[in-house]
Amino acid sequence: MYSISNVVSLLLLLLLSSNQSHASPTPGHLETRQSTTKKYCSPTTSICYLEYSWGTSIPVFRIAVPDSASTNAPFDTLLQIVSPISLGWVGFSWGGGMTLNPLTVVWPNGNGATVSSRWSPYDLSFVIALAPAEYLTLILNEPPFPTLIPSLQPLPPQIKQSANKHSPLRPPTSGRTLPSTYSSASYRTVSASRNATHWTVETVCTGCSKWSGGGLSATGVNSFAWAVSKTPVSQPGNSGSSFSIHNNVGMFSESLSAGKVPKATFDAYVKNAR
């Protein structure tokens, strides 16, 4: 079963790849190359994580969950982000897309970090602007889209008009909205630090494993996504601060098996988080 956010992410990949021969990479393009996922065990704690890395300019993302986690019930999730000092904020999506799933957005705040719980509603307008109407019509009438979003078959005239107003790879400003704060997920910070090359934050989330319309699988493959920006947020000490559009985004899929930790060990590790 595909969620709407996964459909949008897949559509973005198809649209962007179709324009590859006509445009060089620009800020905001989707990164899918050279990424690796593996099991990482901390040399100083008893915690092992599912680790994702892309390269030196992108943060390392590490996820851990208690081994008692069940697909049928919510469970806490542990997220560690190790970011290059050059980045002003980092976002992590628990559902593989930037809409309709919990978003963890973090940024440096002095020698520590601020964690912000966010959510973005579904909005197709930024996808529509990525390609001419003719190409969208072709894509949306090819599997799996006809069965996933039948309401867009064929492409409505108003969407064709919107697409024709914009150049490929140049979404309109109105199609990008700041994710709103999301009260259904709460965070406690385990640790946060900063040195000359990186800033790091580790946070435990209650409410990131299940949400309206979706959730993480404790046994199967999950899709995750990330976004980063080099621009600092306007109010680093405020979790509700506004922040600029991302410079880079990407996604990956993996099971949580590498990041499963004995429940007693997990609970003891996050006990003093606040």
Residue type, 33: R
The verdict on 139 and 104 lying in the same domain is no
Q: For position 82, which CATH number holds?
A: 2.60.40.1210
Q: How far apart are CA 256 and CA 240, in angstroms?
A: 30
Q: In this predicted model, which residue has the larger pLDDT, 117 or 22?
A: 117
- Together in a domain, 222 and 267: yes
Q: Are residues 230 and 215 in the same domain?
A: yes
Domain count, the chain: 2
Which tokens go with 94?
A: 């628990």
pLDDT at 170 over 50: no
Q: Are residues 36 and 66 in the same domain?
A: yes
Q: Are residues 64 and 114 both part of a single domain? A: yes
pTM value > 0.75: no
List pLDDT tens digits, range 185-205.
999 999 999 999 999 999 999
Residues 234 and 274 in one domain: yes
If asked whether residues 221 and 115 sit together in one domain, one would say yes
168 and 185 belong to one structural domain: no
Tens digits of residue pLDDT in 77-99? 999 999 999 999 999 999 998 88
How does pLDDT run across 22-69, given as a tens digit for each residue?
A: 332 333 344 444 569 999 999 999 899 999 998 899 999 999 999 999
In the prediction, which pLDDT does 177 show?
73
pLDDT for the residue 82: 97
Distance CA 190, CA 218 (A): 22
Report pLDDT for 98.
83
* 155 lies in the same domain as 25: yes
Give residue 150's domain range: 1-30+124-176
Are residues 192 and 82 part of one domain? Answer: yes
Distance in angstroms (rounded) separating the CA atoms of residues 251 and 35: 9
160 with 186, same domain? no
Q: Encode pLDDT of 200-259 as tens digits.
A: 999 999 999 999 999 999 999 999 999 999 999 999 999 999 998 888 889 899 999 999
The answer to whether the beta carbons of residues 65 and 49 sit under 8 Å apart is no
